Amino acid sequence: MAIDVRGLTTMLSVFDMPTSIKFYCDGLGFEIISTDSKTAPEFDWVMLRANTSELMLNTAYEENQRPQTSDRARVAAHRDTVIYFGCPNVEGAYTHLQSMGINMKEPKIAWYGMKQLYVTDPDGYLLCFQWRTETQTNDS
C-alpha cells in the first residue's frame, strides 16, 4: 500500500530571521501562517505560505549562540539546494523581483523546455521560478 502523501513542506535554516522574512514575505509574496509565538520578525521558527506552497524557516543558531556574521562555508554549502516553484509568469516574477531590488540574471529557457529564473536567497539557497515554455502565460 502506498503512503497517502498530501503535501510537502521544505524547512530552511536561516542566519537572520528578519532578513529572511523581508525577502520571502516582502519580496516573494509569502505570508506568515504560523510562528513560535515570538514577536515579529524575531521568530526562531515560522511557517510561510504562497498560494498552496508552504515553506518553513528556522534560525540556524539560538539567539545567545549566534555569531556576528554568517559562516561562509555554511552558506556556500547551500548552493547544492534548489527549490523549484511553479510560476506561470516567469517574466512577471522577474520584473517584480527587480522592482524589489533583488539581484538576479534574466530568465532563460533550459534545453528541456522550462523557462527558468534563478534567485539566491539571503542564506545562499537557490530558488528557481519556472514554467514550461509552451504554456507560458502573462497571468500574475
pLDDT of residue 137: 53
Radius of gyration in angstroms for the set of CA atoms belonging to the chain, rounded to a whole number: 16
Domains of the chain: 8-63 (3.10.180.10), 77-140 (3.10.180.10)
Give mean pLDDT in consecutive 10-residue pieces for the chain, a chain of 140 residues.
88 93 94 88 90 93 80 80 94 94 94 96 94 66
pLDDT of residue 138: 54
pLDDT of residue 38: 81
pTM reported for the whole predicted model: 0.84
pLDDT of residue 73: 81
pLDDT of residue 140: 46
